[in-house]
């Protein structure tokens, strides 16, 4: 029987996570050129990787959900990285036991649209 040692399993997980991060950066990077320019390419990549890790720690695993979570982080940056974020809905959504991980991301996306609309309406 084939046995995989823990360090081999950990290496596979890291490889999988890196693959996801690279795909997500290709998917959403072009949508945030100003943020990428402001932060620089290396810090932008770091931001995405931090948020992907954060999402995974919250139980979000699907590539599309991870990309959406990272997009939300970029759209609301730097507030999104504040601890705690200055959005009353953020912690409530993530703590919900009634929402699936995909449901949480969908709810975050809805509230993000509301927040961005509110910001664009400000003079």
What string of DSSP letters covers 31-71?
G-HHHHHHH-HHHHHHHHHHHHHHHHHTT---HHHHHHHHH
Whether residue 99 lies inside any domain: the answer is yes
Whether residue 3 lies inside any domain: the answer is no
Is the per-residue pLDDT at 71 higher than 90? yes
Band of residue 14 on the pLDDT scale cut at 50, 70, 90: low
Q: CB count, 10 Å around CB of 19?
A: 11
Question: What distance, in Å, lies between the first and last C-alpha atoms of the chain?
Answer: 67
d(CA 101, CA 107): 10
Report angle CA 47, 51, 56 to the nearest 5 degrees.
150
For 3-17, 25-39, 83-97, which range has the lowest pLDDT when averaged over its residues?
Answer: 3-17
CA 53 to chain centre: 8
- Domain of 42 in residue numbering reads as 8-121
Model pLDDT, residue 63? 93
Mean pLDDT within 52-59: 90
d(CA 70, CA 31): 11
Mean pLDDT within 79-83: 79
Band of residue 117 on the pLDDT scale cut at 50, 70, 90: very high
Is the per-residue pLDDT at 34 higher than 90? yes
The count of structural domains within the chain is 1
The predicted model scores a pTM of 0.83
13/6: higher pLDDT: 6
d(CA 19, CA 97): 29
Token code pair at residue 36: 């990428």
Mean pLDDT within 87-100: 92
């Amino acid at each position: 029987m084939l046995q995989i040692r823990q360090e081999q399993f950990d290496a596979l997980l890291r490889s999988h996570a890196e693959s996801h991060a690279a795909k997500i950066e290709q998917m959403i990077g072009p949508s945030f050129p100003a943020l990428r320019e402001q932060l620089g390419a290396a810090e932008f990549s770091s931001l995405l990787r931090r948020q992907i890790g954060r999402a995974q720690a919250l139980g979000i695993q699907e590539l599309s959900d991870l990309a959406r979570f990272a997009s939300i982080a970029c759209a609301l940056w730097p507030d999104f990285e504040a601890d705690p974020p200055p959005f009353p809905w953020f912690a409530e959504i993530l703590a919900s036991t009634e929402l699936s991980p995909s449901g949480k991301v969908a709810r975050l996306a809805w509230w993000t649209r509301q927040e961005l609309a509110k910001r664009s309406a400000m003079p």
